[in-house]
Structure formats: structure tokens, C-alpha cells
Amino acid sequence: MASTIRPATAADVPQILIFIRALAAYEREPDAVTATAEDLLRHGFGPTPFYFCLIAEHDGTPAGFAFYFFNYSTWVGRPGLYLEDLFVHPEFRGLGIGKALLQRVAAIAVENGCPRLQWEVLDWNTPAIDFYSAMGAEFLDSWRNVRVSGDALHRLAGASSDKPGAAQ
Amino acid sequence: MASTIRPATAADVPQILIFIRALAAYEREPDAVTATAEDLLRHGFGPTPFYFCLIAEHDGTPAGFAFYFFNYSTWVGRPGLYLEDLFVHPEFRGLGIGKALLQRVAAIAVENGCPRLQWEVLDWNTPAIDFYSAMGAEFLDSWRNVRVSGDALHRLAGASSDKPGAAQ
């Protein structure tokens, strides 16, 4: 019984989408995923990828994934690594696969000179919070996450041509 | 008295660093900025930029900036726009420049097919929170921000070669 971790290839896109949907269901948003395999293929495996992905396998069966990209720290002046998704299929939990994925992502951050590895966790996800704490993570609870999307984003964007105030 | 917004060029890097330092001081972390002009030049104006920047000017004087990059939504299957820094120098506040910068960033998000514009705000920064609310923003307060950095990151990365559990 052996687990391995490898970078995803274009052939893994259908499996990546299965993992994304399973994670969304775990996060109580089973209908939130509108991404298609075509989207993931185009954005992850073209000339300028928007994301990177690791696949964990257990005895050759896909067991989990880590989905990440680079952000940027203006304070440190370095790219940082942002972990968008980390997921291990329920039947493969307790084998150290989640820890091994997180460690591999941390190693990729260090190899790329990133001073930070960041991600988000839902406040009710106590098992994950405990796991991350044990891995040496800190929680930046004074920072609130803000989002504009949908109609509000288009209203905000459309207003830019109105030149409000003195600004053009 | 007219304000304008334009994309930053390599020649703006010293001014970008001034804005970054001023924002860190406002965020009560005046000593947190270790980034250098060389860092910002290399990462923002090379063949594969890690970030993008807008400069707002008022009567030709630098008045504020917006510093952003692209992230990725696995749920929507699209790049999103992440606003790392938004800052208007105190002497230029009240002229609509912050709003105009945010609107321009929203327009860039829409032009790039991004379903979301996201950023963070400190929980004590009530003026900013009120401003963002008025712009149609929502606050994702059930998500906690997690970070591993410094020694903890290197420990986590180094452990990846130990093959803990069954995972390699």
C-alpha cells in the first residue's frame, strides 16, 4: 500500500473536476461548481497557466489533490504560494495523504522563493483547523475577506466610464 | 484639477514602493516592508509578470495606486482578480480617487472574464469597510485566512522528504 504525489497533466482534468465537486459538496455548496473540463484544460495547461495541481494516488487510484497558484506579497517583494483547494477523498483519509500534499506544496513554495503559503478554511471545519494548527499555521483573523461579483461587479465596472468625482 | 488613472510602467517602481510603505504604515505595520525596487521591477515588468499596477495622478502628481494579480476560482472555472493593495495618499482623499481606482480594477476584471474581484480589509478599518459596502461588496466572514511562513514553512517543506505515513 503506497501513496505517491505527482504534478497533474492535461489527462487528469476530468479527475480534477471530480475532486473540485467533491470538495464543494463537503463545503456545503454542492451546486456551486459550474466549471467545466474545458475551462480547467484551457486555464491550467496552456502557454500561461493560471493554476497548478498535484495529484495524490494510493495504489494507483486517485486519492486527493492540491490546487494552487502564485500571489504576490507587496511587503516582502516576493511571489507567495496560494493553496486554493486541498482535498483527500474520504475513503483515503487517515493515511497521511493530506499532510503529504501540504508538505509537498510547502516544498514547492520554498523552491520558488515564496516567503508564505496561504489558504482559507471554513470556520466550522474544526478537523481541518486543528490539522493546520498542528502543521505550524497561523490564523490571520483580523483580516476580513471582501468580494464583489455578479451584478455588483458589473455595476462597479460599468460606473468606471461615468468619471465620478474628479477622477477619470 | 483633474485625476487620471493609467497602468504603471517600470519607471513607476520607486513610487509604487513609496505607496506600499505608506499603506503598511496606515495598516500599523510600518516596518513590515522589506521589498526593494529591484524586487518589484523584476516581478512586475519581466516577461511573466506576477502582478499589475494602476497609478492614479492628480494634476500630474502621484496620488494613489491599485496593485493586483489574477487568482483562480475552481468553482467557476475562471481566473478571478485579486486586489492586493488599494491606497490613496491622505492629501488626495475625498476626491473620488479610491472609488475610481476600484471601478477601474472592476472594469479590468470584467474585461478579462473574471467572475469575482476579491481583496481583504482589516477589521478595525471602518471607513474602508463602509466604503466597500457602499460599492456592493460582500464580506466572506465564515472563511478564515491561514498562513505558514518563515521557520514553520521551512519545517513543513523539509518534512516532505521524510515520507511521513504511507505517502511519499
Residue with cell 471607513: B127
* Residue found under cell 456551486: A32
Q: Which residues pair with B120 in a beta bridge?
A: A145
Task: With respect to residue A159, please indicate whether it lies within any of the assigned structural domains.
Answer: no
Q: Are A51 and A43 in contact (CB under 8 A)?
A: yes
B25 touches chain A (CB under 8 A): no
Residue A167 lies in a domain: no
pLDDT score at B159: 65
Burial label, A91 (beta-carbon count in 10 A; 0-12, 13-18, 19+): exposed
Residues of B in contact with A103 (CB under 8 A): 156-157, 159-160, 164
- Distances B165 to A2, B22, B26, B37, B48 between C-alpha atoms, Å: 9, 47, 45, 44, 38
Q: What is the pLDDT of residue A164?
A: 41
Give the A window 56-115 contacts with B, CB below 8 Å: 56, 58, 67, 69-79, 82, 84-85, 95-97, 99-104, 106-107, 109-110, 115
**Other beta carbons less than 10 A from residue A70's beta carbon:** 22
**How much is the pLDDT for B119?**
98
Q: Quote the percentage of chain A above a pLDDT of 90.
A: 90
Q: Looking at CA atoms only, how far is residue B67 from chain A in angstroms?
A: 9
Give B-chain residues touching A62 at CB under 8 angstroms: none
The answer to whether position B131 is within a domain reads yes
- Determine which of B43, B95, B103, B131 to mutate to test the interface with A (most A C-beta atoms within 10 Å): B103
Query: Which pLDDT value is given to residue A121?
Result: 97
Give average pLDDT by consecutive 10-residue segment, chain A, 168 residues: 93 98 93 96 94 97 98 97 97 95 98 97 96 96 96 88 40
Cα(A114)–Cα(B120) distance, integer angstroms: 20
Closest chain B residue to the Cα of A6, Cα to Cα: B168
d(CA A13, CA B63): 45
Of B43, B72, B155, the CB nearest to A50: B72
- Which of B70, B147, B53 lies closest to A105 in space, CA to CA? B147
pLDDT at residue B161, as a whole number: 44
- Residue-level pLDDT at B1: 63
DSSP H/E element including B63:
strand B61-73
Any CB–CB contact under 8 A between A25 and chain B? no
Give domain status of residue B70, yes or no.
Answer: yes
pLDDT value, residue A159: 66
Which string of b and e fits B65-100 if b means at least 16 CB within 10 Å?
bbbbbbbbbbbbbbbbbbbbbbbbbeebeebbbbbb
CATH code, domain with B126: 3.40.630.30
In a domain, B108, yes or no: yes
A162 located within any domain:
no
Tens digit of each residue's pLDDT, chain B (168 residues): 689 999 999 999 999 999 999 999 999 998 999 999 999 999 999 988 999 999 999 999 999 999 999 999 999 999 999 999 999 999 999 999 999 999 999 999 999 999 999 999 999 999 999 999 999 999 999 999 999 999 999 999 996 544 444 333
Is residue A29 domain-resident?
Answer: yes
Residue in B with minimal Cα distance to A97: B167
A149 found inside a domain? no
Question: How many residues belong to chain A?
Answer: 168
Position B162 scores a pLDDT of 43
Check: pTM over 0.90? Answer yes or no. Answer: yes
**ipTM of the complex as predicted:** 0.90
Helices assigned H by DSSP within chain A? 13-26, 37-44, 97-111, 126-134, 150-158
Domain count, chain A: 1
Structural domain of residue B18, as residue ranges? Answer: 3-143
Mutate to test the interface with B, among A153, A155, A161 (most CBs of B within 10 A): A153
Residue A2 is predicted with a pLDDT of 87
